[in-house]
Structure 1
Amino acid sequence: MSNALCRTDDTVLLIVDVQERLLPAIHDGEAVVDRCLRLATAAGTLGVPVLGTEQYPQGLGPNVPALRALCADTFTKRHFAATAEPGFLDWLPACRSVVLAGCEAHVCVLQTAIGLLEHDIEVKLVADAVGSRDPRNRDLALQRLRDYGADVVGTEMVLFEWLHTSAHPAFRTVSRLIR
């Protein structure tokens, strides 16, 4: 586990399964989408690759269009752990760290995070940008992943750590995402 600050270099933002048909069932789903959009917008501004996954989109629909538009690519999967899906690890750019957000915290996010950690990739799990139908399942997933070695962070932590300084050329643009 690394408790280092979030970096823009050697990092990928991975947004897991924020799908149209699943979203109405997610507790505080609109807030999860909002935070994922903030993360993806900031990542795009700062040169961090933004990728998405979709769990069986034929059944659950595609990711929310505004979010899907911010992803450079979207990986379709059937396994709950994206890392167990053939081709996923080859598709994921080489990186030391993945900033992870999406749904459901206790299923696909959890299993993907564990898979990444088992492949020696740091996981920065964005607690306020993950959701589950039952908030108790979300909370259990956050604790389990913290115990497993994920670094549990918040959206604002990630954005300000990516900036590192108020002198960053994108400071005004990114800080507006918080207001």
Structure 2
Amino acid sequence: MFAKEDCLLVVIDMQEKLCKVMKNLDRTVKNIRLLIEAAHEFNMPVIYTEQYPKGLGETIEPLKSLLVDYSAERFDKMSFSALKIDEINNRIKQTGKKTIILTGIESHICVLSTAVDLKAEGYNVVVAKDATTSREDEFYQTAMDFYNSEGIAVVPAETLVFYWLEFAGTDSFKKLQKIILGKAHRISVV
């Protein structure tokens, strides 16, 4: 289910105004960064969305620079589910990937709506538990409970990365281990 050659990473709405009010933002950003780095290491496609960027701002740093540097594809949306936007839906289909790894915000709104629609389309949906968050812990936990009840996989970002790595001691392992063991990148969202 997690085979790296069959995965697409999706980063949902990690935008300036939204991030200001999120719980566990440092943890979420650190783990999204880890997944972006791993996706790049394994030539996995990455797309990211921005919900009404005119009003909610752009994707926060350091994620934006990393996504741009690694040629991730950016999509605007107004819908809560990314799949409601034909351009995004078509791009996901064009990748030919069957497993979609979801990260971003909010766990109980845009991530959840996207997960439900992806599952309905027949994709294997994986939510990186520590690479998503919400404004309230209760909302986050309710979303995690929902995913589990609907057969949507919920796993830590590290689980995915180590599964993709397969072996310790490789160059990829050494590169990604530095991110895993490093201090969380502090984010200043004012």
Q: Which runs of 4+ in 1 moved over 4 A?
A: none
Decide which of 103, 126, 129 is 2:128's aligned counterpart.
126
Q: Which residue of 2 aligns with 1:59?
A: 55
Distance 1:10 1:86 in 2: 22
Aligned alpha-carbon RMSD (Å): 1.2
Q: Which residue of 2 aligns with 1:176?
A: 178
Determine if the alignment matches structure 1 residue 143 to structure 2 residue 139.
Answer: no
SS at match of 2:58: coil
Instruction: Say whether residues 1:69 and 2:71 are aligned partners.
Output: no
Q: State how 1:25-174 maps to structure 2 within 5 Å.
A: 25-71=21-67, 72-92=72-92, 93-166=95-168, 168-174=170-176
SS of the equivalent of 1:171 reads: helix
- Matched letter for residue 37 of structure 2: T
Shift of 1:120: 0.7
Structure 1: how far apart are the matches of 2:85 and 2:24?
Answer: 28
Report deviation, 1:167. Answer: 5.2
Following the alignment from structure 1 to structure 2, what is the Cα–Cα distance between the partners of residues 52 and 172? 26
SS in 1 for 2:15: coil
CA contact (8 A) 1:126 1:154 kept: yes
Deviation at 1:53, TM superposition (A): 0.7
TM-score (structure 2 length as normaliser): 0.88
The number of residues matched between the two structures is: 175
Q: Kindly provide the CA deviation profile for residues 85-123 of structure 1, in whole angstroms up to 9, marking residues without a partner as x.
A: 222211222211011110000000000011111111111
Amino acid at match of 1:176: K
Distance 2:169 2:81 in 1: 39
Give ranges in structure 2 of 5+ residues lacking alignment: 182-190
Does the 8 A contact of 1:97 with 1:121 survive in 2? yes
Deviation for aligned residue 1:23 = 0.4
Identity of aligned residues (%): 30
Confirm or deny: 8 A CA contact 1:20 1:63 kept in the other structure.
yes
Provide structure 1 residue ranges, at least 5 long, that are not aligned to the other structure: none
